[in-house]
Structure 1
Amino acid sequence: MLGELLLGIAGGSVTGITPGIHTNTLSSLVRGVDFGVFLMLYAMGLTHTFLDAVPSAFLGVPDEGTELAVLPAHRLALKGRALEVVAIALRASLMAVLFSLAFLPLYALIAPLYRQGMGRYLVFLLFFLLVATERGVKRLAAVTVFLLSGAFGILLEGLPLKQAYYHAFAGLFGVPTIVLSGEGRIEGNDTEILMPRARFVVYSFLGTLLGGAASLFPAFTSSQAAMLATFFSRDERAFLTVAFSVNTSNFVLSLANFYLTGRTRNGVLVALREYPLAAAEFRALLVASLFVAFLVNLYGIHLARALLRIISRLDYRKLNISTLLMLIFLSLYFDGSLGLLTLLTGSLIGLSAVKLGVKRTNCMGVLMLPIMLGK
């Protein structure tokens, strides 16, 4: 089984640092599942959560679950702290795995208590918090952006798209970040996390709790859990610590939810849902989680440094243009002209949030409004 585990880690390393390619897409291609395949795909997905900070920080391109981390991650990278962002992601994800495993006995008691519709209450709470944080006329602007993105999300559900949310998130969060980033240079060789260690642990703990909630409630996604973190975190580093912890803990605890209840909470588990996971196999996957967490922390920063050496030599304006062209190419590749139209529509909504002077978190209406309306 070591071969499948290492193959999964290698695959997750590739998808993690590659914009637009997610393990959910690769998992959907799998036909015929045994435990070796299960282990490989699980390791791939978990590794991906450790390294998906790289395209967010270096290129400003969002991945599923890291949409809200794009702007602060890319901003720190432009300040010369690119490798610090990766270090935050690696260590926060490691802490999230450790906390998630420690939570398992309590999680085993809570998971079976879930009832359909419970997650919707959290989504309504998030909406009211979003609006309440704006003042004066900006409150109306925030609601407008939320409704626009929400209507966009409702329309997406009726379109024949293979990768609907790639186009949506790349448009809402990726394109505006790239277009408005101005001049600069992606650099930074320092991996020191400029944050007190105790504070880092606390925010990773908070992210793990929120990720656990996201793994329980299908209506409450990891993106929305990260959005809730914006009301607790004081700065970019604190928010990123929470956001990266949310992503990883959600993945690990979704495995626990699948084992305990049979419910699937991510694309990897959907592809594996027919496999009858035995108790001994579940324990083996938990041990594999620790192996992945520590191994990726050993090589992840070196992989990111090698990529940064290449990117830092490029002209920033040309890098931005190349990244935009890549996003357009991927939209065309996945879904043709309809995919490109979806990308452009999301981009206009994302840019409108910036022009109206409201937080881009209001664009999460793309996921929230359909849930609130019971779509």
Structure 2
Amino acid sequence: MEEISLFLIFLSVLAGYLLGIVSGLLPGVHTNNFALALVAFSPFLAEKGVAPFYIALIILSNAVSHTFHDIIPSVFLGAPDGDTALAVLPGHRLLLEGAGAEAIRLSALGSAGSVFTSMLFLLPFSLFFGAFYPYIQDSMVWILLTIVFITIASEKNGEVEGKKGLGLLAKYKYKAMALLLFLITGILGLFAFSREDLLTPIINFGEASMLLPLLSGLFGASQLIISLFTGSEIPEKSISKFELSRKRILRGVFTGSAAGSLVAWLPGVSSSIAALLVGLFVRSDFDRRPIKKEDSEPVPGERKSSLFSDSRADHQTLESSKEFIVSISGVNTSNAIFGLVALLIIGKTRSGAMVAINDILGIESLGFQIIMLFFAAILLSALFSYFSTVWIGNNAHHMLRKIDYTKLCTGVLIGLAVMVYLFTGLFGLFIFIISTPIGMLPSFMNIRKSHAMGVILLPVISYFLQYSF
């Protein structure tokens, strides 16, 4: 390989970092879009003297930067991507409590912390998956079914009243509704993904993804409509300083990093499923429905919450929402880092970015020096991304609070519909329209919205069942 230029390394990391801001802030634009575009342009760039190594650095830095900035539209606009879908409800809740800027700062801290925490898992996970990966791959169906079982079983029990038989039904009614929601969204996912070839984007910016209309409807538009119905508004004051205990922050970083590092090795398992696992460690119903503010009466001496039915539980629920934001950010960043590790150890690509890097360089070219430079690029991109994420979060709240919340929600809803139509066509818009009322079901069932991740889990389980048999 030709002599490496530190200046070109810096420029490559900077370029990838800036692309990550773009892909993170613009719903519907993903790192895979830029990765595929760079692969297509790599021969032309090579003719201009840009070595493939620097192109790979841009792609890697873009992937890391994206995981920092993609939380911002989820919190402020209710516009999720595949990795931040579960963050919409707790993030939106914090926004309406005046803690939107704090949520973004916590997210940036979770991502930055996961960069360093992931290094602790690097050696043990590499040794473990290097030795046992074939056995784990053959057991994926049972692993995923176990995740589904634990998630549904962890749903709260109902109140037991009346006769013994009816009491038993009441006790398990929420678990039954959780299973029903999982199946409804799972069937929706099976239907949608089996017809992904019907997507006809108006703007062809890379390969159209069915995740955009599905997740925008289930987790984005549905929450915005509920917020409109509940008469919510963005408070004038914004909290930006940390009001989360050090214990919860550290736990959020550790659980998110561990979950993201684990699923990066598994085929067909995205970081959104890792986020589902993380939610089991946050011991509060941070993703339950908000209700009308007039439905709750404050405890004397406490401020009235605009979102929760039991004001005595407000503090605990807000704390859990904040911890989950830390965790899910850690999941996404560690997942991006371990995507590279999985490529090195088992030779498998788990993301579009890693596919692109493998196509450009090939794993046989990844010597010790290049690997060390890759990790240095990850650290530098993370450093840039932390400060820009915090800065954008602080300023976004100040701008949004000047806008009428009803008009903001209405505008975002229209924007989501237009975005879905532009990037996925009429069939994508049809899926978006179907997904939106289904995404509102957890609010009326009073169950956790995370069960709607059946839209991804059931198709993945179905795929592995076909693979196994």
Q: What is the TM-score of this pair, normalised by structure 1?
A: 0.95
The one of 133, 139, 145 aligned to 1:124: 145
Aligned to 2:13: 5
Does the residue aligned with 2:93 lie in a helix, a strand or coil?
helix
Cα displacement (A) at 1:23: 1.2
Aligned letter for 1:56? S
State the alpha-carbon separation in 1 of the partners of residues 240 and 56 from structure 2.
33
State the alpha-carbon separation in 2 of the partners of residues 108 and 32 from structure 1.
33
What RMSD over aligned residues (CA atoms) do the two structures have, in Å? 1.7
State the alpha-carbon separation in 1 of the partners of residues 236 and 177 from structure 2.
35
Aligned to 1:332: 421
- The correspondence of residues 126-275 of structure 1 with structure 2, limited to 5 A, is 126-134=147-155, 135=157, 136-159=172-195, 160=197, 161=199, 162-182=208-228, 183-185=232-234, 188-234=237-283, 235-274=320-359, 275=361
Are residues 1:309 and 2:414 paired?
Answer: no
Aligned letter for 1:177? Q
Aligned letter for 1:223? S
Aligned letter for 1:28? L
Is this contact kept in 2: 1:97–1:248, CA < 8 A?
A: yes
State the alpha-carbon separation in 2 of the partners of residues 316 and 47 from structure 1.
29
Q: What is the TM-score of this pair, normalised by structure 2?
A: 0.77
Are residues 1:21 and 2:29 paired?
Answer: yes
Number of residue equivalences: 375
Cα displacement (A) at 1:198: 3.3
State the alpha-carbon separation in 1 of the partners of residues 382 and 415 from structure 2.
30
Aligned to 1:286: 375
Is this contact kept in 2: 1:208–1:245, CA < 8 A?
A: yes
Mean CA deviation greater in 91-100 or 156-165? 156-165
State the alpha-carbon separation in 2 of the partners of residues 346 and 224 from structure 1.
19
Aligned letter for 1:123? L
Cα displacement (A) at 1:111: 2.8
Aligned letter for 1:73? G
Q: In the superposition, relative to structure 1, how do residues 352 and 189 fare at CA in structure 2: closer, same or farther (>3 Å)?
A: closer
Q: In the superposition, relative to structure 1, how do residues 144 and 353 fare at CA in structure 2: closer, same or farther (>3 Å)?
A: same
Does the residue aligned with 1:358 lie in a helix, a strand or coil?
coil
Aligned letter for 1:114? Y
Is this contact kept in 1: 2:105–2:393, CA < 8 A?
A: no
State the alpha-carbon separation in 2 of the partners of residues 184 and 57 from structure 1.
14
Aligned to 1:94: 112
Q: Give the share of equivalent positions with the same residue, in percent.
A: 28
Cα displacement (A) at 1:96: 0.3
Aligned to 2:306: none
Are residues 1:114 and 2:133 paired?
Answer: yes
Structure 2 residue ranges without an equivalent (≥5): 1-8, 43-51, 158-171, 200-207, 284-319
Mean CA deviation greater in 118-127 or 97-106? 118-127
Aligned letter for 2:447? V
Aligned letter for 2:217? G
CA distances 1:123-145 after superposition (whole Å, capped 9, x unpaired): 11121122213332222221111
